[in-house]
Structure 1
């Protein structure tokens, strides 16, 4: 491997190792694989551009362009054309929105932050920029020591933000990568310095090998001291970049986890693993249709749903009285929840409305009084937790909700009716059109629910994951999305129609395990709108088709006056095509209501399909893979074709092959070139300073050829010298057989790996790269010359006119004198 190739690899390795210090910043570590891919592609692009005759300053420009395209494909693929493969103008705008959302999340979240697209874009993009900087400094301009500056910046920012979650391991890995990069460049410099001043004597202790060994020892000792010395030094207080295990939030002063349930939901929905997260048991008759709510988001800024207030208070065991709930005759319901080991960070799941929660450690939780949500204040506070929730089993009726006051209190309306400016007009127009004829809030909301769960909409987790205004308009146009789109859009429409709303998040009812015990998996992450009705408080509505369970009060049949007698009353969930009764004996009533029967039926149907076309992205990946595979075969194919042209095959007359009139000079030289290239492929590089006979003797000695193979190489060399030096060569015997004999002799001394490398990646194929580089250089010079001539043809007449008009100083001076 050449020094430049080593520097390329070690630069990418140093950047990757330094980037590991960023892993504590997010709650998940999957983004680092994306960053490593970006670093590898940037390094490969730089290596390719440096092999072209372009100027050095064009290499980082090309790397930045490739980095930009990769970010477009990675974070704005939903807006790309041709199956999400080719970015377009909309992709750039989408990337800008994702980046803006990421900057907002930097301001809103503490460490560790949720792995939403904006934050992942910032991290991956930052690592990519550092990779370009390190590669440019260390490889393109050969200043490896200066490459430590961007690496230090990456480590300092990452470790500073991580605070106490940082580790000495990140420093060790980052320093190791930098030292390896320095060693790679230093070894090349020391070896060249040693050859100049010490000649061929490289076996003594003072040679460059000894210097390189000393340098490695110094580097290792310095790294070990840097890791061990702080253990014996006194500790100072918080510094400029030091942070605690979380930012104090609210009036309680305890650190609050930054995990956003909406982010966790959008990250888990596209690829659920269907693993059990927790179980719960309840004696309530409605336990099989109980949603376990983790929190609610009440502020919509046009881009995303958030908590309007970040203030929290220490949890004391009791929850505030349910907002807006009047004196109703609702029985108490107790729910026991057991969290498994697969749920590390989450807000506490519990039925709504709840009165109290019995926890083993109240201090590990903070209370959001506005939404009655419990947020972890300690890391992994929820893992393995067992707790009991005491709540109310509120069961309103459609007739009661229809008779509820249409106007909410001012404190509710001012907070939960706010709509951001710039909302697409289609949202308001659609909300008004779909509720035309409804005379009260309940009928309006039920009309929206029935429309969303009807046949016009399709549940699809592959759509864009954001819930902003643009995504809302796109959702209404395409009629495809998942629960976040349905919940967000219905909540905004409710506000437009004067119904206070917010977006709740949590889990749909679990699957029964028998004995009133239910199992909840990650596939049950869900979002739904909560709508406010005076006297009943916040009630959930379910607009997502084929998902969740419709509450009983969503069935207008429960009230005899819910619809005019001239229109048939819809049956609950009748609009969802997959929720018809199933003949599957494994599908109980609860599964039919949640839509899981439909999933099973679809799966069974899909099992009988013989063939489905791959998606556009899969086809693009296949095409890219084939192209890369073809590029890997180029050296082998080119070398085989060149050998065939030189030596002849298939009985056709070719250079170096048999013929009735002897061999021409070109045929002899072609055979000699093939012998030299064959030796090069098998580990003996050419030496152009030698005569043909000396070169053949070197090949025979280095390659340890037997007598026949050495004689064959000698005959080819003798024929070549006759062509080069004799007045008339007159070579009558073909040389192709001699070249093959010598080549077989060289192959005999090598192992299987060396022979395979000589076939797949022959070193002599470097001549192809030289030819391409020469062709590009010639084309560039030719184009430059043509441009110069064209410019001269245009500006020449102008220069001649100006020259004629220019006064001659000598004659003018004489006339005046």
Structure 2
């Protein structure tokens, strides 16, 4: 024990070094937490992960100080992680509020599945729900246990730091802005601390370092050698971190702070413009389950146009993407926009002015929502316009909280003019005509659809009517495309189920096959009319639609998405052919038929006329003989009673046919979901088709008016709908019709008496379905 530098001293020093290294690894994990900050919309998400890190760090440090074997240490840390999450999320079902029991484990498993569902149905930044935070806590805990094993036991701190820094891949992959410099600097500081502690521990394990002798026999460090030795691994790592922060800011082509970008190149000389994938952002917005306000605007137009943000012109057979745009000084928005591509006329004399105010919560919007086509844009800041598409964008700023004014007013073309438009477009960019390679089955199907169309415009309308004619279903959770299958062929030939992205992409691709220049536009429908000249656009109004080119008229919008999917979507007047006007031959034929229908005999005399048309006081009443109105009143009451029962009978018939046609698990789940929708509508409850099944369930449960049996039945219906879309194999929930009936009775019992009566006599689901079965026509003033 008295041996200097012997086993006892060396062992104590090593235990202390490993204890400090264990704590440094935990500090590095805490420093890596800010990397996940951009993913969450709430600030309270970090308390759960911090608690788990503290528990794992305490166990790890105690195990190193008491010299517990490495394998046992990892097991103890995992146990501490489980106890930490149990004490936070299921304390009432646990032993001593921390030791997991079967009930506590079941609750944690349910939370995990709920977290996976929340991730699928929410857009970034996600809310800090218990399920999502539990997933993050477990992920960070497992990473910390692995990093502790690598840094303390295997003594490879660089690899341990890389494991924890892998968290940076999450925001870089899913968030449009990536990771901020502050969060990266904090994570890098934690990594440097881990390297510094490991370097000090290694030095301490070898004792005091003796400098070499010089020529005179003295021992001293040269200045250069001292600087290099002092720099060491920590200095090299710090230099690398500084370079990693400075080089992207100094190199123009590396200014993007996110690897999840679509446009990161230049077209000509200009600034780099980076934006998120519009279609991915669209799907995240529609399936988020929320309905936040995006913007509002004022306009005198009674039927406003869609608000377009992005134009996707490149199609690789599976995906639509946007060609790179440039931010040249000559294209800066300072009032009038460039001439509308392909439009040969002039702007309408009565222009429309639209004042747009973007919500302060609409983060990441670097492309302005604008009606197309627009003639001028008055906006503050550095904004540029792409002359080919008239998209207005900013390479540095965003539109959150911005107010701008747009003027438009171009005459809407007539059907006969579009039919007479030139079938070819000599001045159009060839990228809009690049035909996709369609399979033989799809080609044959498309040619059958347009077989009776003579002009390009007629073919376009035929395609649009085919998609909206009832053969396709709108669903935000379409069936998954099997591996190795062409997505377009699967959508057109097999599933025939999707949302606006699928319909817009399919119509644009098939239009190109027919020789019509086409592209896909992304933006918003006009939204909700809330005042005389005021409109509100929400997340559920996000939309995609095709734009087709006609020589002399430019790019025109079409609407192939079925009306029940987007209630605020509308088919433009020029794409909704009305009844054909009668020709002269038709008019002559009609006159001849009227004349031939008239009797050839002479008109009756006045007496006969008097007999056929008695005086008002002598005419028999509808109730029968004068003075006897009872039988007529009874007949009227009976007729009213029968008529009042017709809606209820129709609703009962729809319900019966719906369940009778359901044969497999998918159709049964869909029937249960549609019945829930109709029941809520009948009772006057709100229904948003953009909400996910889990969001609908959460809203009904939080309402607090469903009993335990109804909540269980509702959960089984939602589970069946989710299983059909997400389960890897066949999944059947029995007695869905009974569950649907249980939920309906509970909803009816919890509704006011007036709502029950209206649900029985005037079920809103009948006229709501009829109104959304066909796209709503919008007539221009």
| TM-score normalised per structure 2 | 0.50
| TM-score normalised per structure 1 | 0.48
Q: Which has the larger radius of gyration?
A: 1
